[in-house]
Structure 1
Amino acid sequence: MTQARIGLIGLGTMGAALALNIAEKGFPIAVWNRTTEVTRRFHAEAGALAERVIPTESLADLVAAIAPPRAIILMVPAGQAVDDQIAALAPLLDPEDLVIDAGNANFHDTNRRAAAGLPMRFLGMGVSGGEEGARHGPAIMGGGARADWDRVAPIMEAIAARAEDGTPCATWMGEAGAGHFVKTVHNGIEYADMQMIAEIYGLMRDGMAMPAPGIGETFATWNQGPLKSYLIEISAAVSRAADPLTGAPMLDVILDAAGQKGTGRWTAIEAQHLAAPIPVIDAAVMARNVSARVTERKAGEARFGAGPQPLDLALTELEAALIAGKILCYAQGFAMIEAAGRAFGWQLDLPGIARVWRAGCIIRSAMLNDMAAALAEDPSRNLVLAPFFAQRLEATIPALRRVVATALLNGHGVPALAAGLGWFDLMRTGRGTANMIQAQRDFFGAHGFDRLDGQDSHHGPWGKTS
């Protein structure tokens, strides 16, 4: 019997797609699912790929089916389920066997597992691209010991998406939870990118009275320029789609309450620990939370009146505003990754991360080529200061400013776009207003402050009495 090159546990949507991808690339794979019938059905429906899929009905059978030293991918829910699966495998595996958590894990859990002295090797791996990406080519972000990544890299690079230059979008990010951390920030950027697109959609729909198909055509046009990306592409598609039940635009029959699985919230929480400002992502997480409060929002509309008013904006201004917002968002995300590298001692390759995101993942975008080039010039420099993006911001910030101001004056909520603009204005202000905060802190808590003139006095006169 042919032994598998790799194993996989968990044949849900993502696990099944990833297993078929691995088999299609020529690697025999053993699979196991907690429900045996799922395993049998998966094998039966694998078609021509079934000859490279080895279905197993117990963990012991799975382990026996894989050539040692073994590698087993876990595609199970994040959290306790991963710990339980590792515990169940432990008595069956040798010390050099490798368990790979490829789910949406919190990187702190991955750090904990990496440091726990497990009786086997352990790798954390971020996988982005949804079901379609898992099946035909995701972006893969590995984290753990480099030697463990190198063992499975030939398989991961084979199944990964390819950038336009042919480079596989799969690489090692760093030790322990680095891969899952980078995937978390990817998801935070995804939240923000989607929110900004939704805000622009809202301005077209509610402020410019554009029907959904017309909005779709606009997105399709923008997808031929600097905004070319997967999210703009699918925004065009969903805007132009019709509901098969009513014939109405599909968008017009969907409840405006956005779901979330928590990775955007993890990004926002971790950014606070790292003192890394990511206001566009923060705003996107907030907006999703508000969207779920449908009853309260309706009560607010009844009390305060219908908000959005007509807008006098050009589509070219909306496009430029979205370009600026996207640059600001990604700049914040990469700055957060750089801060994490310093905090956790990871040698994170920022241009390499940008290159991995060029294909396969949800935030894939034409801009990432230029971002990779800018980060390669100086990884420690904020992306907004790179000459290419500084020039692009100079050309698009006026439109972002006009779009945000006009939207707010007319009752349109654009929290992510506004947050990006606010951050940009703070970042371009050499002398801000935090001196007032430092004076207040010294007044009520004697916290002290630094003086502009370098004098030794670090407290104000407010504590003195005449």
Structure 2
Amino acid sequence: MPEKTQQMDIGVIGLGVMGKNLALNIVDNGFNVAAYDLDALKVSQFLSQFNAESSARKYPSQVIGCESIQHLLDQLVSPKIVVLSVPAGAPVDGVCHALIEAGIQIEDIVVDTGNSLWTDTVEREKRYKDKFSFFSSAVSGGETGARFGPCLMPSGDANAWERIAPIWHSISAKVDSETGLPIERTSAGEIVENGDSCTTYIGGAGAGHYVKMVHNGIEYADMQLICEAYHILSSGCGMTASEIGKVFEKWNQGKLNSYLVEISADVLQQADPETNRPLVEMILDKAGQKGTGLWTAVSSLQLGCPAPTIAEAVSARAISTQKSLRVSLSAKLAGKETNEVSLESRQQIIDQLENALYCAKIASYAQGFQLMAMAAKEQGWNLDFAEISKIWRSGCIIRASFLQSITQAYQQQANLAHLFLAYSFAEQLSQLQQNWRQATSFAVLNGIPTPCISSALAYYDSFRSETLPANLLQGQRDYFGAHTYERIDKKSGKKFHLEWSSTSREQISI
């Protein structure tokens, strides 16, 4: 029978890509880890990597590879902390039931770090409250983030967070508090002890996974916006992938500085090892998705919170998968033939597009933050948007210097209802919106689809419009369904209905 040592600080169950790298990150930062996976080979590989990196490690941490969940629990100091890094859904509950059978106690903490749907997290906290403290922490940043500093979005019982916080602050990504720029960590054993950590307590059950879901929705929009800019420069301006990559490199030095713009520049300048053509031109134009962007779009519709740019990003991926239909229709449907663009005009379009991309980016983030605000009101969460934007500055896919401006906006204006109301963003949008329109018009006139750039502009125009045609819409609804309407010259909330079929057209107060 395996020995009971009870000296490990934390247990990790699930040693796939994310779990293994999280465990190694925890070890680098001086904590002792007990690790388990159903696949014994993964446990062995984890131990081998731990040993290979031991000479680079600043702290003399210990690890134990466990033979079972029972063995893992026996190694942990009480109250125990167990981190789950298993696929979302049934596997999470499967491990929870196994922990119960192994004797986990009510004061122990189980942390779900998978990409769980936030409503599942809420239900699990209720389901297991008499067995142990179920806690959740969304993780962003992929494999590299997990290993060298992720963005962590924890939520659940506040007392559980107090126990977990020292570990989470240690392993999370760090940013310079003055500039908001990431303090990079890139090698095994290396740690960063200064700077702001990219984790904060998000709120009650489900809040962290909801915020991560919206993060991913914004990520969908951000990626699609960049792709549309690439499409405009490629199809509209006749630029090569490498030339566009160099434009993105330049943009990344300014207000569009971000991880996604940076890697897009790299992708566009990568040659295919087989043909030596630009690799991007050899990649089939069918995009995949794992569902979190869809969840965000669905949530926005359920709450009645407009997030059209996020929804269009999801739709764009769906349209991309219908490759055979697009091929067929491309031979049947007429479109505008693109004219050759002069070098002078090309530079003008590049400059306009830089501003359009920046404005659309503001709009997509505004949609995400308003969605979080409406969800928080409905769920009773007290979300701190300055803190959320701060932790997104590094360790996650949407990390960008732009988030420093969002942080400052929420710090400077208490109870900011919408990012468009922030002084700096309102001024920038007003100054740059004409370039946004020019870039969008160029795409439309040349038959280049820009669902996200265009929907973001429509979103901006809708919110800057004091009057929208919803008055006619409400008249239509009253005409065919007696759904009533309000009047501009009467008290708000007072309902009226017109007897449309009557010759006298009598108006009734409801």
TM-score, normalized by length of structure 2? 0.89
Measure how far apart 1:51 and its partner are: 5.7
1:64 aligns with 2:64: no
Q: Is the 8 A contact 1:308 1:412 kept in 2?
A: no
Instruction: Select 1:137's aligned residue among 149, 174, 178.
Output: 149
Q: Is the 8 A contact 2:28 2:61 kept in 1?
A: no
Aligned match of 2:441:
405
Structure 2 counterpart SS, 1:316? helix
Q: 1:270 and 1:189 mapped to 2: Cα distance?
A: 13
Measure how far apart 1:250 and its partner are: 1.3
Q: Supply the AA of the counterpart residue of 2:266.
A: A
Q: Supply the AA of the counterpart residue of 1:113.
A: R
Q: 2:63 and 2:336 mapped to 1: Cα distance?
A: 56
Deviations 1:260-299 (A, max 9, x none): 1110001011111111110000000000111111111111
Instruction: Select 1:98's aligned residue among 109, 112, 129.
Output: 109
In structure 2, the CA distance between the partners of 1:62 and 1:308, relative to structure 1 (3 Å rule), is farther
Q: 1:41 and 1:161 mapped to 2: Cα distance?
A: 25
Deviations 1:289-328 (A, max 9, x none): 1111111111111222576624655211110110000001
Aligned match of 1:233:
262
Aligned match of 2:45:
41
Measure how far apart 1:460 and its partner are: 2.2
Q: 2:12 and 2:440 mapped to 1: Cα distance?
A: 48
1:422 aligns with 2:458: yes
Q: 2:92 and 2:8 mapped to 1: Cα distance?
A: 22
Structure 2 counterpart SS, 1:27? coil
Instruction: Select 2:497's aligned residue among 445, 455, 459.
Output: 459
Deviations 1:4-62 (A, max 9, x none): 11111111111111111111111111111111121112211222349622111111111
Q: Is the 8 A contact 1:439 1:460 kept in 2?
A: no
Structure 1 counterpart SS, 2:12? strand
Q: Is the 8 A contact 2:47 2:65 kept in 1?
A: yes
Aligned match of 1:346:
381
Aligned match of 1:115:
126
In structure 2, the CA distance between the partners of 1:465 and 1:307, relative to structure 1 (3 Å rule), is same
Deviations 1:339-369 (A, max 9, x none): 0110100001111100110111100111111
Q: Supply the AA of the counterpart residue of 2:98.
A: A
Query: By percentage of residues, which structure has more helix?
Result: 1
Q: 2:32 and 2:474 mapped to 1: Cα distance?
A: 63
Q: 1:382 and 1:391 mapped to 2: Cα distance?
A: 14
1:30 aligns with 2:31: no
Deviations 1:66-119 (A, max 9, x none): 111111111111111111111111122011111000011100000111122441
Q: 1:169 and 1:248 mapped to 2: Cα distance?
A: 39
Instruction: Select 2:296's aligned residue among 249, 267, 280.
Output: 267
Measure how far apart 1:148 and its partner are: 0.7
Q: Supply the AA of the counterpart residue of 2:498.
A: G
Aligned match of 2:408:
373
Measure how far apart 1:423 and its partner are: 0.8
| Structure 1 alignment gaps of length 5 or more | none
Q: CA RMSD in A?
A: 1.5
Aligned match of 2:137:
125
Q: 1:378 and 1:304 mapped to 2: Cα distance?
A: 51
Q: Is the 8 A contact 2:118 2:206 kept in 1?
A: yes
Q: Is the 8 A contact 1:149 1:172 kept in 2?
A: yes
Q: 2:377 and 2:410 mapped to 1: Cα distance?
A: 16
Q: Supply the AA of the counterpart residue of 1:105.
A: S
Measure how far apart 1:2 and its partner are: 7.0
Q: 1:463 and 1:91 mapped to 2: Cα distance?
A: 69
Q: 2:41 and 2:464 mapped to 1: Cα distance?
A: 60
Q: 1:3 and 1:457 mapped to 2: Cα distance?
A: 68
Q: 1:91 and 1:442 mapped to 2: Cα distance?
A: 59
| Identical pairs, percent | 41
Following superposition of structure 1 onto structure 2, how do residues 138-157 of structure 1 map, counting pairs within 5 Å? 138-157=150-169
Q: Supply the AA of the counterpart residue of 1:82.
A: V
Structure 1 counterpart SS, 2:500? helix
Deviations 1:370-398 (A, max 9, x none): 10111221333210111100111112211
Structure 2 counterpart SS, 1:451? coil
1:217 aligns with 2:256: no
Aligned match of 1:167:
196
Aligned match of 1:5:
9
Q: Is the 8 A contact 2:31 2:61 kept in 1?
A: no
Structure 2 counterpart SS, 1:142? strand
Instruction: Select 1:245's aligned residue among 274, 279, 283.
Output: 274
Q: 2:335 and 2:62 mapped to 1: Cα distance?
A: 59
Measure how far apart 1:409 and its partner are: 1.7
Aligned match of 2:418:
382
Q: Is the 8 A contact 1:301 1:307 kept in 2?
A: no
| Structure 2 alignment gaps of length 5 or more | 55-59, 178-194, 505-510
Q: 2:495 and 2:22 mapped to 1: Cα distance?
A: 63
Q: 1:453 and 1:395 mapped to 2: Cα distance?
A: 35
Deviates more, 1:295-304 or 1:423-432: 295-304
Deviations 1:423-452 (A, max 9, x none): 111101101110111111111111111101
1:301 aligns with 2:313: no
